[in-house]
Structure 1
Amino acid sequence: MQRFDGKVVIVTGAGSGIGEAAARRFVAEGARVVLTDSVGDKIDAVVASLPEGRATAVRADSSDFDQVAAMVQHAVGQYGRLDGLVNNAGTITQGTVEDTSVDDWHRVLETDLSGVFYGTKAALGHLLESRGCIVNVSSVSGLAGDWRMSAYNAAKGGVSNFTRAVALDHGRDGVRVNAVAPGFVWTDLTSEDGEAHELSDEFSRRIPLGRGGLPEEVAAAITFLASEDARFITGVVLPVDGGTMASNGQPAQA
């Protein structure tokens, strides 16, 4: 399918994981894509592996509004328009409130929540012109709480409700705003996390489909929400979690 022929899309946090998979899927479906990440080498490598002329790498820290605004202007300057924005960049810290430093709290909130606001604010004028769309990457942790992840829960909960609010504000303008809420996904980060591997059996027991997700599976949901196939969908936070959020938390019965 070539659902994005002639379209220009920005994907933040595109150096690996869900962001990389989304960028690849958009390119495969005809889009020209601007990949951003705070680590330039990672996005340079991804762009080098894509068809020539279809993608551009721009180093930008999503927690810095000036860098985000410059990145959007670069995208529009190079390609002449902007049709879609995927706010994917994120970070995490674990611990109770007692364990979480003020610096870690601000780092997570600035990247995961403020970064979504910054991207939306910088891109919105261009998306109003193109009647484009935004897809934010929230999390099941933005729909319910976790143990020892209060900062991440606060940030992703904010992303989920920010998505709904912006959808309300700009639906009449023709701009759709949705989010995906992944559950456990095997990315470079989780694959290198020894604790994640130790918990993999527990994740498998709790996820109705019996396994963690793949970045490509989340990317498929992102591109669906960004496409004309979802033209009557806005304000949705779509779990992409193998059925995790279908549970009320009670244990499985033998």
Structure 2
Amino acid sequence: MDMRLSGKVAVVTGASKGIGLAVVRTLLDEGAKVAAVSRKSTPELDALAGPDLLHVPADLMHPDAPAQIVARAAEAFGGLDVLVNNAGGPPPGVTLPRTSFLDAGEQDWYAVFELNLFAVVRMVRAALPHLLERRGAIVNVSSTNARQPSPINVDYCAAKAGLTNLTKVLAEEFGPQGVRVNTVSPGPVRTPWWTDPGGVADIIAERAGTDRDTVMDSAVPQMMGLTIGRLVDPQEVADAVVLLASPRSAGTMGADVVVDGGMLKSI
């Protein structure tokens, strides 16, 4: 299926690995021009280098970063059609998962909200003039934790719930003006957040007295009730993101597309 993204300009945050990297790769395959945002590049992102890819090194925790990112993308490619707010998870200095609500201090809450919600607010503010002009699209990457509260990720859950709510509000206000706004909510995805040394898999393995491979291959899928029996692949999330970014989804507005391997059981 032609996604009708050829020549479109996209900004993707959290673009150097995991879901963001898969989104960048897929958009490039569809003929889009991509400004890939991350604190630093990776060999995997460098491998995609070409005239249609611009790496924008930026720290989204800095209030001025979003405006600078959008300006660079618009200058390099002549405008902006798609904003993918993918950056999220634990910011520098914060370790997730926790063991209790009491583990998160006030500064932890501020940091988690800064990256997972307030940075998105700033990105949207910066991008909206371009998106309104070109009747573009916003895709916010939220989480099933926005719907499924968890005491081990309480601050993250609250921030993602705010992001999902924000998406609905933006869709209601700017949809009539031609900007489509939707959310993709992944469940547990096999990304570096899980697989890196010291990542979630290692943390859970230490607490459970087992090894990281057992955690990812069987313990977590069973514990979280994943119907497919495995963690979700980043590409499976990227496919949903790119579909929502595409004019093929012109009738989809304010939706929350869940890609969670069957984790959420409620209607």
* TM-score w.r.t. length of structure 1: 0.92
Tell me if structure 2 keeps the 8 A contact 1:94–1:100: no
Q: 1:71 to 1:46 in 2, by over 3 A?
A: farther
Tell me if structure 1 keeps the 8 A contact 2:136–2:180: yes
Q: 1:247 to 1:210 in 2, by over 3 A?
A: farther
Looking at structure 2, the residues matched to 133 and 140 of structure 1 have their Cα atoms a distance apart, in angstroms, of 22
Deviation, 1:177, is: 0.3
Deviation, 1:94, is: 3.3
Looking at structure 2, the residues matched to 210 and 245 of structure 1 have their Cα atoms a distance apart, in angstroms, of 14
Deviation, 1:240, is: 0.4
Counterpart amino acid of residue 85 in structure 1:
L
1:25 maps to 2:26? yes
Deviation, 1:183, is: 0.3
- Secondary structure in 2 matching 1:244: coil
1:212 maps to 2:210? no
Q: 1:180 to 1:172 in 2, by over 3 A?
A: same
- Secondary structure in 1 matching 2:55: strand
Looking at structure 2, the residues matched to 47 and 211 of structure 1 have their Cα atoms a distance apart, in angstroms, of 26
Percent of residue pairs bearing the same amino acid type: 38
Provide the residue aligned with 2:194 in structure 1.
190
Provide the residue aligned with 1:76 in structure 2.
74
The count of residues paired between Structure 1 and Structure 2 equals 245
Task: Please list, as runs of the form range in 1=range in 2, the aligned pairs for 1:48-59 lying within 5 A after superposition.
Answer: 48-50=46-48, 52-59=50-57
Which of 97, 100, 109 is the aligned partner of 1:105? 109
1:130 maps to 2:146? no
Tell me if structure 2 keeps the 8 A contact 1:62–1:118: no
- Secondary structure in 2 matching 1:65: coil
Question: RMSD between aligned alpha carbons?
Answer: 1.6
The answer for unaligned runs of 5 or more in structure 2 is 91-95, 206-211
Looking at structure 2, the residues matched to 134 and 143 of structure 1 have their Cα atoms a distance apart, in angstroms, of 21
- Secondary structure in 2 matching 1:148: helix
- Secondary structure in 2 matching 1:245: coil
Provide the residue aligned with 2:12 in structure 1.
11
Provide the residue aligned with 1:90 in structure 2.
88
- Which structure 1 residue ranges, 4+ long, deviate > 6 Å from structure 2? none
- Secondary structure in 2 matching 1:116: helix
- Secondary structure in 1 matching 2:103: coil
1:144-163 CA-partner distances (Å, limit 9, x unpaired)? 20132110011100010000
Tell me if structure 1 keeps the 8 A contact 2:181–2:254: yes
Tell me if structure 2 keeps the 8 A contact 1:12–1:36: yes
The answer for unaligned runs of 5 or more in structure 1 is 249-254
Looking at structure 2, the residues matched to 247 and 161 of structure 1 have their Cα atoms a distance apart, in angstroms, of 18
Looking at structure 1, the residues matched to 135 and 157 of structure 2 have their Cα atoms a distance apart, in angstroms, of 31
Counterpart amino acid of residue 242 in structure 1:
G
1:186-208 CA-partner distances (Å, limit 9, x unpaired)? 01220123126353323322111
Counterpart amino acid of residue 210 in structure 1:
G
Deviation, 1:50, is: 1.6
- Secondary structure in 1 matching 2:171: helix
- Secondary structure in 1 matching 2:60: coil
Tell me if structure 2 keeps the 8 A contact 1:47–1:55: no
1:199 maps to 2:215? yes
Deviation, 1:49, is: 1.1
Looking at structure 2, the residues matched to 63 and 161 of structure 1 have their Cα atoms a distance apart, in angstroms, of 21
- Secondary structure in 2 matching 1:10: strand
Tell me if structure 2 keeps the 8 A contact 1:186–1:215: yes
Which of 244, 254, 266 is the aligned partner of 1:235? 254
Tell me if structure 2 keeps the 8 A contact 1:13–1:88: yes
Q: 1:226 to 1:2 in 2, by over 3 A?
A: closer
